[in-house]
Homo-oligomer: A and B are copies of this chain.
Amino acid sequence: MFHFTYYTPTKVVFGKGAEGQTGALVKEQGCKKVLIHYGGGSVIRSGLLDRIKASLDQAGVAYTALGGVVPNPRLSLVYQGIELAEKEGVDFILAVGGGSVIDSSKAIAYGLTNKGDVWDFYDHTRQASACLPVGVVLTISAAGSEMSNSSVITKDEGGVKRGYNNDLCRPKFAVMDPELTITLPPYQTASGCTDIMMHTMERYFCPEGSMELTDSIAEGLLRTVMKNAKILHADPGNYDARAEIMWAGSLSHNGLTGTGRGDWATHGLEHEMGGMFDVTHGAGLAAVWGSWARYVYQNCLNRFVRFAVNVMGVENAGTPEETALRGIEAVEDFYRSIDMPTCFSELGISPTQEQMETMADMCIVAGGGQKGVAKVLHEADCLKIYQMANH
């Protein structure tokens, strides 16, 4: 009967040169000292970090900075950030980067406002009661973390990758200049597009009834992302396509395309691949999705048929099973067209039987229990899906 909570308080400032407003946006928050958190050298080389600092200087806001966030962001840097921010009296975290930087920032923000080990939240042994305000200057369209309530952190020892969702961490603002994403390598752009699609597809494949309005938004978003991902594959400098993808990234993970629904098994499966092999998140999702879909589609047949027809443009011919399978094939064809993998070998990994068993075990046993609603997955199901993808 359509019960949901929808909460997207993040103020989005979108467009060319939007990063020039960062200082004013931080100042609006009434804070005294900012921790600028970022990743590698690209924000330094591009001059973006200097422009952000200049904007903060202009607004009269003090800051300190901590770089070094890597993909599948590490808990050890989160601890370092908490220590630095406490020492410096920081009361606002400004993430300059993509999902990894934003997620690391959210974890630091939790750590600064809750006693005890911040990993407890990701380990789901307790709930956060507060979160320091976080703002974002987005440089990668992918994770949607700029408007979402989620963050994912990887524990250095053992590569345990865990997510924690709480509305407290939704960023106060997100500065989105599509031009900042133009220099991304093609593989990162395509991985981002895959991640964006998956955030909507995870919410789409649910057996129970869905709102028509939500479906129409989800389907329109998926078609738009696929069209513009292909444009960027051929023409990485296309600003308009960058803008479409960037806005789709935010809307695909702020709750709009789900209004309460969600399967999330593919993300669960990929988290273990990311934790063990450190693969790019979007590429990991692409590599395992087809196997997941073939394993579960019969339990959620109506939705796979609707998806095939409305999103992938499959003619509704033959049996529902045939239509559903053609839709799955069409997604894999699309992934190949933007050089995304559709199996483990294309992803560049070849896990042993033992490694797959470990991933399946971690996904379910350590990962909070059964996964998914399209078909409920237990440990043996996860192992089977990994095996199906392992070619």
Contacts and interface: CB of A to CB of B under 8 A. Distances in A.
Interface stretch (A3-11, A341-349, A379-387): A3-11
Interface string A152-173: 0000000000000000000000
Given A221-B216, A224-B216, A227-B212, A243 B13 contact: no
A178 interface: yes
A1 B16 contact: yes
A248 interface: yes
Interface in A1-27: 1-9, 11-16, 18
Residue among A209, A247, A259 with the most chain B CB within 10 A? A247
Contacts of A224: 212-213, 216
Contact of A247 (B178, B220, B247, B259): B259
Contacts of A247: 2, 211, 213-214, 259
Interface in A243-261: 243-244, 247-248, 251, 256, 259
Interface string A231-273: 0000000011001100110010000100100000000000000
A223 interface: yes
Residue among A178, A212, A213, A251 with the most chain B CB within 10 A? A213
Interface of A: 1-9, 11-16, 18, 178, 209, 211-214, 216-217, 219-221, 223-224, 227-228, 239-240, 243-244, 247-248, 251, 256, 259
